Amino acid sequence: MNPRKIAFRVDASLKIGTGHVMRCLTLAEALRDRGCESTFICREHPGNLIDLISERGFTALGLPAVDVAQDLGLELNLPPHAAWLGADWRTDATQTRKAIGDVTADWLVIDHYAIDERWERKLRPACRRLMVIDDLADRNHDCDLLLDQNLVEGWQDRYRGNVPENCALLLGPEYALLQPLYSELHDRVPPREGPIHRILVYFGGADTDNLTGMVISAFGTLKTEDVSMDVVINSASPHAESLWKLATRDGRIRLHERLPSLAHLMAKADFAVGAGGATSWERCCLGLPSIVITLAENQRPIAAELHKQRFIQWLGHKNEVDEHGMAEALKSLMKNGLESGWSERCGHAVDGKGTSRVGSLLVVGDKNSLRARPATMDDEINVLRWSNFLSTCSHTSIQNIHHSIEITNNFRKHLRDIDTYHVFIVETSSKIPVSLIYFSRQETSWSIRILHAPHLGSFIRDEMILEEALRVLRENATGVLIFSDTQNSSMSPVSVANRQGQYTNAANQKRLEIAVCTDRGSWINASVPTLIGGWLAEGHSVSWSHDASTLPGGDLCFYLSYGRIVDAKTRSRYSNNIVVHASDLPKGRGWSPASWLIMEGAERIPVTLLEAVDAVDAGPIYLQKWIPLHGTELIDDWRELIADATIELVRSFVSRHPEILHEAREQTGKSSSYPRRRATDSELDPAKTLAEQFNHLRIVDNEDYPAFFRHKGQEFILKICRRPSSRGKDS
C-alpha cells in the first residue's frame, strides 16, 4: 500500500507563525508514525522555520517572499490578516499548486490566518481532502475538516455558516495538537499545591515586545532566594543579547534556547508566565497554573474564557501590563501560594491525546483505522448528545426534553435485551467515537440503524461503519445473519440509514437475494463485511452463514474459503452457486492451492471464480485474476492479496449479473489436485538453509500451524514475521 501524501501550507516569521509551524510539525510526526509522508510549503519570510522542518526529517519547499502591498490594496473582502501571506492569494495558490506537483495529495492541511475559501477552492484539484487549522472563525472556508483547539465563549457554534454543511468539526482542547510527551506526562506529573519555588517564563518564538525582559526585571525586584526562574527564548530574537545580560546578573535565573520541547521544564515548574495561544494547552495538560499576557487580538477571547473557568490568571493585554503590575502579581502568588485545586482543574481540561485523535481521523480508510466494540452505559452521553443535536432544528425545548428521555430509555432497553439487540460503537484507533450502530433481530432477519457523530459531517462513509460492526456481529451472533431489503419506511427490516435518510437502490439495478458462506474462523471473514456493506447500500438482500444448510435460498450464493462439500440439494436453493479458487483450473483442484503454489515457487497466483457443481472445483469459469508476487510475501500478505482479488471478482460478478452467466467457459486441459495440508507439512529440515526453505516459511501460520523442526530428539517452533521498517514494495 502506498503511503498517504500530506501537504502542509503554513508560515512562520520573526513576528508570527512559530506556534503554527510547531503544531503542524507535531501532527506531521504523528502521521509519519501512521505511515504517511508529509511535505511542508512555506513562504521564505525572515525568521522562517524551513531549516527546522528539514531537521525534523520532512521535505520543506520555500515560496519566495514578494512585496504585495499595492496589490492587496486593490483587493476587496480580504481576510484581516491577508498581509501575512507574503503574496496576493492568487499568486500564493498558484505557487502552492505547483509545489504540490502532479501527485494528488491525500490531505492538504492549511494553518494560516491569511487563507480563506477562495484560495482553498483553487487548490481543490490538488488534493483529495482539505483540512483547515484555525483559531479565529473570522472568514469562510471550503474544507472537509476544520480543527480549532481553543476554548472560547460559544465555541460549539462559532463556525456555523463559515464552513460547508458536511464539514467535520474538531473543536476544543480535546483536539489540541500537543507532542506525545505531554500525553505521557499528563498522568505522571502530580498536581501542584502550596508554595511556589520554580517559575517558567515563555512568550513564544517572536516576543517582539520583549515581555520576557519585563518579567525578568519584575522578578528581579523580588528578593526571594528560594524561588528560581527558567526562561526560554528564541536565539534569533532581537532581544536575545539584552536578555542574556539581564539573566547573568541574577543567579536565580536560567536561560534556555532551542529546546525541542517545553514539557520537561513545565513538569519541573510550579508556576508559569507566558502568552496565550497553543502553549496554554501544554501548560493545562501538565496541570501548570499560569499568569497569561495576551500578545494578539485573537488571544483575548481565549484568555477571557480560560480566566472565567479559572484555568489561568489573565493579567491583561500586552499594552495593559507593566513591570510594576507583573511584580505585584508575582509577589501575591509567592506570598499566598497556589490556590487549592487550580492545578487539578488545568489537568482535567486537557489530556494531551488530541494529536493522536486528529491523526487517527486523517488515516480513516486505512487498515485497522476503525474498530467496533459493544456499547456500554459509558456511551450513553454520546448517544444523547448526538440525538439531541439532530433534533434541535425541529423540536421545541419541551419536546427536546421528552426526546432526550425517550433516547435514554431506548438505549438502556437495547443494552438489556441481549437476545434481540446487538449495539456497537464504532471508533477510531485513538478511541474517538464516530457512530452508534444497532442490529435488531426480527422474526426472520436483522434490521440495521446507524447514528453518526454529527460534528464529523459526512467524513466517514456509512459502508465503513457497517463493515466494522458486521465483523464483530458475526463473531458474537450465532446462526445465519439475514438482512432482508424492502422498499418500505425507515423501520423496514433493512433500514441502513445515512445522514439524509435511507440507502436507495442503484438506478435500474435488479434487487438480488445474495448469500455468503464461509468457515467460522476463516481468514476471509475479515473481508466479507466489505461485500455485504456494498450490497446493502445497493439495495440487495444478503445472508451470511458458516453452515450452508442454514441459508434461506435466493439468487446467488458465494462459497468463500468454505471447506465443506455442498450437496446438490443445498445448492438447488440458489440459481447460481459460486466458488472462488486460487488456481488455474483445472490444474490445482483441491485444498489450499495458493499455499502449494507458493511452495513450488510460483511468481503469480490465479484467483478463479467458477460455478459449483457435483465434482470438486470442476464447474465453468466466469472470471479470473492473476496476482503477481515479489517472493517475500508472508501468509498475511498473500492472503490479503487473494482477499482483495476475491472482493473484486465477486463484486464484478454481481454488477454484471445476469449477463455474465453467458460468458462462462468450460475448463479445458489436464487436471491435477492438491491434498489437504496437515500440521506435519510445516516441518522444516534443520540441515537446509533458511533461504532454501523460505517459500516453506512463507505459508506457515504462526498460531495455527507454526513452522517447527526436530533436533536431538526434541521439537522446536519457529515463528516468522517481517520487521516493520523493512516492508518493501510488496507491502
Can you say which residues are annotated as belonging to the binding site for substrate?
Answer: 282
Give CA separation, 103 vs 107, 126, 558, 730, 731, in Å.
12, 8, 38, 21, 20
Give CA separation, 49 vs 43, 53, 154, in Å.
10, 6, 34
In whole angstroms, what is the distance from residue 271 CA to residue 192 CA? 9
Amino acid at 573: R
Q: Which three cell numbers stand for residue 357?
A: 485523535
Coil vs helix vs strand at 538:
coil
Q: Which three cell numbers stand for residue 731?
A: 507491502
Beta-bridge partners for 273: 201, 291
Q: Mapped to the 3 state alphabet, what secondary structure does 139-178 carry?
A: CCCCCCEEEECCCCCCCCCCCCCCCCCCCEEEECHHHCCC
Vertex 551 angle, CA 547 and 555, to 5°: 135
In whole angstroms, what is the distance from residue 24 CA to residue 8 CA? 7
Taking the CB of residue 127, how many other CB atoms lie within 10 A of it?
A: 21
Binding site: residue ranges?
A: 282
| Chain centroid to CA 688 | 45
Q: Is residue 529 reached through a cis peptide bond, with omega within 30 degrees of 0 on the bond before it? A: no
Minimal CA–CA distance to 624: which of 661, 652, 588? 652
Q: How many residues does the chain have?
A: 731
Minimal CA–CA distance to 294: which of 232, 215, 203, 208? 203
For 604-641, letters b (16+ CB in 10 Å) and e give ebbbbbbbbeeeebbbebbbbbebebeeebbbebbbbb
Q: Mapped to the 3 state alphabet, what secondary structure does 77-111 carry?
A: CCCCCHHHHCCCHHHHHHHHHHHHCCCCEEEEEEE
- Report, as residue numbers or ranges, the catalytic residues: 20
Q: What is the dihedral of CA 392, 396, 402, 405, to 10 degrees?
A: 30
Minimal CA–CA distance to 581: which of 547, 548, 549, 620? 620
Q: Are 252 and 230 in contact (CB under 8 A)?
A: no
Give CA separation, 68 vs 82, 86, 89, 250, in Å.
10, 7, 10, 45
In whole angstroms, what is the distance from residue 227 CA to residue 337 CA? 12
DSSP-derived pairing of the beta strands 59-63 and 37-43: parallel
In whole angstroms, what is the distance from residue 667 CA to residue 673 CA? 14
What end-to-end distance do the CA atoms of the chain give, in Å?
A: 6
Beta-bridge partners for 63: 43
Q: What DSSP designation does 443 have? A: S
In whole angstroms, what is the distance from residue 594 CA to residue 26 CA? 43
In the Cβ-directed half-sphere of 418, how many Cα atoms lie within 13 Å?
Answer: 6
Q: Are 599 and 611 in contact (CB under 8 A)?
A: no
Q: Which three cell numbers stand for residue 424?
A: 456497537
Q: In sequence order, which residues have a C-beta less than 8 Å from that of residue 548 and are 6 or more positions away?
A: 517, 557, 559, 562, 564, 566, 570
Residue for grid cell 457443481: 613
